[in-house]
Structure 1
Amino acid sequence: MRVVIVGAGEVGSNIAASLADSHDVVVVDVDPDRVEELNYSLDVLAIHGDGAAIETLEEADAGSADLLIASTDHDETNLATCGTSKVLGDAFTIARVKHVGFLRTWERSSGAFGVDFMVCSNLLTAEDIVQIIGLPAAVDVEWFANGLVQMAEFEIGPESHLVGQTVQEADQFDLLTFAAILRNGDVELPRGDSTLDAGDRIVVIGPPERVYQFATTASPNDAATDTENVFVVGGGEIGFQTARLLQERGIKPRLIEEDPDRAREVAETLSDTLVFQFDATDTEALERENFGAADTVVAALDSDQENLLVSLLAKRLGVNQTIAVVETGEYRDVFEAVGVDVAVNPRVVTAEEITRITREETTEKLTFIEDDRAEVIEVEVDEKSALAGEMIRESIPRLPKGVVVGAIAREQELVSPRGDTVIEVGDHVVLFVDERVAEEVTSSV
């Protein structure tokens, strides 16, 4: 497949890196230094120019492309790029936007703006945040098989009862699969005698109720955490969408916004959200509103520094779970190292979603683990699948090393993925896959 990516920032570069090994990729960017860097670091053709200009797209031969991805930081540029590409050819176009308004307009008319698929980073980020809220120790959560299966990544703290246990000792939950141990940047497929250490991150796959039971074991101090007391700090687009989604879950969040006009606008729009208008670093105001008793605080202000400050202040005041929006990708590890429970980067979330779309022909759903070192995918098994009609202990050894069957959904019921379980045609199977063999595995199953 020939792919043209316009915008070589964090989003575009991540997408290019994930597609370069198996596709013909061209990247366009206005920064000549970035273009030169990509030509040396990735197996792509990088071109300097304005991707919204027809001359640049002609140089990139966008007319013969199968897929065009507009991923700059400017919504209008991305929409113009997709529209211009339609003049040259019939590539499937994907546009990244930040503002939900463009998404709502596009949803009303298929193909509006010359866009075949639109990804809204602010909405995706809010959805990511809401999935994590209320699950103790979770740093990532995704749903599969129409909600029957949940994948969650947990960090094992020093106080956890799991420290020092083997996987066999910790595996006390029906239908729950220990898919991976993430340790010191490496991905380890767990064995029964694998020992869990403080600081490890564990990926588990199973029904939501079992995942929650495991969560309370992984973080016993937060076992009583619920989601009734949530503060959202920042009334911008991400904070607003987070509060709106929480309302849809039946939660009545509280939101802090310093700007009086924006605070009034949010309060008028979100009827079940209590909006406070003050500076979120005003400790007296926070104590007055019992901020420290919150189950979860979401820091969604406009700067990484402010979000870090609010998150650390929340921890000092006694908040159980802190989630911070981090616009600069390399800061994520720093945030979590200094005490923020979860750092969510909108650019990474967006890059993952766009990459998932490019793989829809072979997977039902896809999510990435540990900065793309591994993937969790859902596939519907057909007659040609290497899994069909075989016991797991027979089929998995024939696949490349680095695959774990996490869950099997059959006619809206879960089937325990044990060695003697036979996978049938029509089953939805959730697999944990090492990134190095992901393309080979998805083409086989």
Structure 2
Amino acid sequence: MRIIVCGAGVVGFAIARQLASEENDVVVIDQTQQLVDRVMDSLDVQGVVGFASHPDVLVEAGASDADMVIAVTHSDEVNMVACQVCHSLFEVPLKIARIRSAKYLDPAFKDLFSREAIPIDEIISPEREVAETIVSRIQQPGAFDVSDFLDGDIQVAGIHILDHCPVINTPIAQIHELFEELNFVVLALVRDNRLRTCAKTDQLFPGDDIYILYRTQQRERIFSIFGHEEGQARRIVIIGAGNVGLTAAKRLEENNSNLRITVVERDEKRAEIASELLNKALILQGDSMSPNILQESGVAQVDVFAALTNDDKVNILSALVAKRMGASQTMALVNEDSYRGMVGPVGVDTFINPRTTTVSRILQHIRRGRIRDVRSLHDGNAEILEGEVLDTTIFAGRRISEVELPSGVIIGAVRHGEHVYLAGDDHEIEAGDHIVLLATSEAVRKVEKLFRVSVNYF
């Protein structure tokens, strides 16, 4: 595919890196020469310096032959105009834009982004997406990552293996034998920051991370097997009343009236806005790095401390201080790659990567074949995909155990009508079934083909 990425900032760079790694023809546009040079030096992409909304710049980027444009500059207006120009002048089939301002996303103006108005096919709001991710993780204690599949009947969660995990040094196959009444599949293992598919002979050790697929209704019992029995959060402190922090606080208020939420914001004007928009949360105006402010927020008694400012250093350091003061669980919003390796060792429980969420949304439009849903894992090292089986695919007419999969791919679950079967169940896959599987980054292209054709090309 020929894809134009407008914007070479943090999000644009991450998207270009993912797309280029899959041998797409990628062109990146940015008005800053330094950013264009960086992306061209680091990735196998082309670069154009200029305003992404200008027709002549889009011509230079090859818009007339483009299959998709992804506009993720820092300006909502530039993103919207770029999509409009690509539609009106170049008839680009698919247009995706990042829109950050809540004013444009107000449901009262839902027709704004239609083909008759501003023709954008998919709106991406990283702030909203990240806020939803944070809310989901708060509501799923014990997991550092969680996603729903098969209409919510199945979840895939990332879990830390800690020292007190009761199944340490136990082969995966034996864990299944011990808890045969529970349905789960350990899809992947992360050890020494390297992800690979998990084998039944693998044993788990403290410091490992696993990605596990399970029936949603069995979540609590399965988590307890791996040493996670954290209760639902009742008291939460959020640092930062920016777009992410404020949206997360509003969603938490809407979802759970029993939560006690405290928001700490350094900027006085922002704190005033938060006090107007939030109904029940306590707003404290002050420096989150101040022990006095943290003590006033009641951090020693909180179940979740979420540092969601625009400053990675502030987020990591304040979460670290909060942990030492007694916070049960800490999470930090971290954008820069250079800081991510610090998160586990310094004592922060979970980091939130805005790029992972954004890239996952975009991948749903990139993936070919009958791919219905995509989630990126471990900074793009693997993906969870949900796909629909066609008569022409190699899945049809075979039992789950009989499907010959390429290296780096593992089936997790299959939906047939109203029934969901997990790997290991005796089910013959039929056309129309939905399959959830994990694929490492090297195997994703092969998975796309699995959902398109029935040929033996491996």
Q: TM-score, normalised by structure 2?
A: 0.89
Are positions 1:280 and 2:288 aligned together? yes
Q: Is the 8 A contact 1:164 1:196 kept in 2?
A: yes
Q: CA deviation at 1:391?
A: 0.8
* Letter aligned with residue 284 of structure 1: N
Q: Structure 1 residues 302 and 437, CA, compared in 2 at 3 Å: closer, same or farther?
A: closer
Find the residue that maps to 1:423 and give its secondary structure: coil
Partner of 1:8: 8
Partner of 2:436: 430
Distance (whole Å) between structure 1 residues aligned to residue 428 and residue 355 of structure 2: 39
- Please identify, of 140-149 and 155-164, the stretch whose mean Cα deviation from structure 2 is larger: 155-164
Partner of 2:66: 65
Distance (whole Å) between structure 2 residues aligned to residue 256 and residue 419 of structure 1: 49
Partner of 1:255: 263
Distance (whole Å) between structure 1 residues aligned to residue 279 and residue 194 of structure 2: 46
Q: Is the 8 A contact 2:369 2:448 kept in 1?
A: no
Mapping of 1:124-139 within 5 angstroms?
Answer: 124-139=129-144
Q: Is the 8 A contact 2:50 2:57 kept in 1?
A: yes
- Please identify, of 279-288 and 156-165, the stretch whose mean Cα deviation from structure 2 is larger: 279-288
Which string of whole-angstrom CA distances, capped at 9 and with x for unpartnered residues, describes residues 284-320 of structure 1?
Answer: 3433443211111111123112212221121012112
Choose from 382, 390, 410 the match for 2:390.
Answer: 382
Choose from 100, 108, 111 the match for 1:108.
Answer: 111
RMSD over aligned Cα atoms: 2.3
Partner of 1:403: 409
Partner of 2:172: 167
Are positions 1:237 and 2:243 aligned together? yes
Q: CA deviation at 1:58?
A: 0.9
Are positions 1:301 and 2:309 aligned together? yes
Q: Is the 8 A contact 2:356 2:376 kept in 1?
A: no
Distance (whole Å) between structure 1 residues aligned to residue 421 and residue 185 of structure 2: 12
- Please identify, of 309-318 and 27-36, the stretch whose mean Cα deviation from structure 2 is larger: 27-36
Distance (whole Å) between structure 1 residues aligned to residue 198 and residue 89 of structure 2: 50
Q: Is the 8 A contact 1:324 1:344 kept in 2?
A: yes
Using CA pairs under 8 Å that are at least 6 residues apart, name the structure with larger relative contact order, 1 or 2. 1
Q: Is the 8 A contact 1:329 1:347 kept in 2?
A: no
Query: Gapped runs of 5+ residues in structure 2?
Result: 452-458
* Letter aligned with residue 107 of structure 1: K
* Letter aligned with residue 6 of structure 1: C
Distance (whole Å) between structure 2 residues aligned to residue 305 and residue 373 of structure 1: 25
Q: Is the 8 A contact 1:137 1:341 kept in 2?
A: no
Aligned-pair identity (%): 29
**How many residues are aligned here?**
441
Choose from 95, 98, 101 the match for 2:97.
Answer: 95
Choose from 322, 329, 337 the match for 2:337.
Answer: 329
Are positions 1:51 and 2:52 aligned together? yes
Distance (whole Å) between structure 2 residues aligned to residue 347 and residue 182 of structure 1: 20
Q: CA deviation at 1:375?
A: 0.7
Partner of 2:376: 368
Partner of 1:35: 36
Distance (whole Å) between structure 2 residues aligned to residue 280 and residue 339 of structure 1: 18
Distance (whole Å) between structure 2 residues aligned to residue 179 and residue 37 of structure 1: 35
- Please identify, of 383-392 and 44-53, the stretch whose mean Cα deviation from structure 2 is larger: 44-53
Distance (whole Å) between structure 2 residues aligned to residue 419 and residue 442 of structure 1: 24
Q: Is the 8 A contact 1:332 1:344 kept in 2?
A: no
Distance (whole Å) between structure 2 residues aligned to residue 278 and residue 17 of structure 1: 38
Distance (whole Å) between structure 2 residues aligned to residue 437 and residue 302 of structure 1: 35
Query: Gapped runs of 5+ residues in structure 1?
Result: none
Distance (whole Å) between structure 1 residues aligned to residue 205 and residue 97 of structure 2: 42
